[in-house]
Homo-oligomer: A and B are copies of this chain.
Amino acid sequence: MVKSQITRQKLLDAATQAFWDAGYSNTSLRQIAQAAEVDVALVSRYFGSKLGLFTAALEAGFAWPELHDPDIDPVAAIIAKFTDPATEDHKFSTTRMIIINANDPQVGDLVRTTLHNAIIAPLERRMTGPHAATRLALFFAAITGASIVRHSLQLPAMVDTPVDTYKAQLNYLIKTALAYGQDDTPTF
């Protein structure tokens, strides 16, 4: 009764780690099974297929109850999630996962749909004022762009930099993005 849940979870954890880090297509089930110290065939038992395993990992990873809590500012929640040192510095990063898998020929559509349903749509619903959709898009551009430059492209100016400085730079971009079309839009 309980034993199966444990191995299922071990498989799910190892899969999340690998899918987040290397992407769906670049990860084999045998790698995952070895990391989980579990037999490959159990993937078939507990998740049906590789795609089923990925879907489970995706849903677990995108379950962000903060976004629905009326007492929490959703934008602040996202920023915290995307800049949390515990996850931000690590390969186990939401941004990294999205970027890598959103273009995958096999799971790209699924990732984009899930991203939209789980994160974008709730955020959009709670954003008010003019140009809400555009400001949200620019906000996401700032977050993903900074994350890419720091983690994927690894530009020296953003890599050889303490986390606090990076956060300051990121906040600078975010503030601008959110100010788009508002009263306090910066002029140049």
* Residues of A that sit less than 8 Å from B by CB: 22-23, 25-26, 96, 98-100, 102-105, 112, 115-116, 120, 133-134, 136-138, 140-146, 148-149, 152-158, 169, 172-173, 175-177, 179-180, 184, 186-188
Expressed in whole angstroms, the Cα–Cα distance for A26 and B103 within the complex equals 10
Q: Which of B112, B144, B157 contacts A145 (CB 8 A)?
A: B144
Expressed in whole angstroms, the Cα–Cα distance for A96 and B177 within the complex equals 22
Q: Which residues of B contact A187 (CB under 8 A)?
A: 186
Q: Which residues of B contact A134 (CB under 8 A)?
A: 157-158, 169
Question: Smallest Cβ distance from A25 to chain B, in angstroms?
Answer: 5
**Max chain B CB contacts within 10 Å: which of A102, A105, A155, A173?**
A155
Asked if A148 and B148 sit within 8 Å, CB to CB, the answer is: yes
Expressed in whole angstroms, the Cα–Cα distance for A105 and B96 within the complex equals 14
Asked if A153 and B144 sit within 8 Å, CB to CB, the answer is: yes
Asked if A173 and B169 sit within 8 Å, CB to CB, the answer is: no
Asked if B169 and A180 sit within 8 Å, CB to CB, the answer is: yes
Q: Which residues of B contact A175 (CB under 8 A)?
A: 188
Expressed in whole angstroms, the Cα–Cα distance for A156 and B103 within the complex equals 17
Asked if B184 and A155 sit within 8 Å, CB to CB, the answer is: no
Expressed in whole angstroms, the Cα–Cα distance for A145 and B146 within the complex equals 7
CB nearest neighbor in B for A177: B173
Q: Which residues of B contact A155 (CB under 8 A)?
A: 116, 120, 136-137, 140
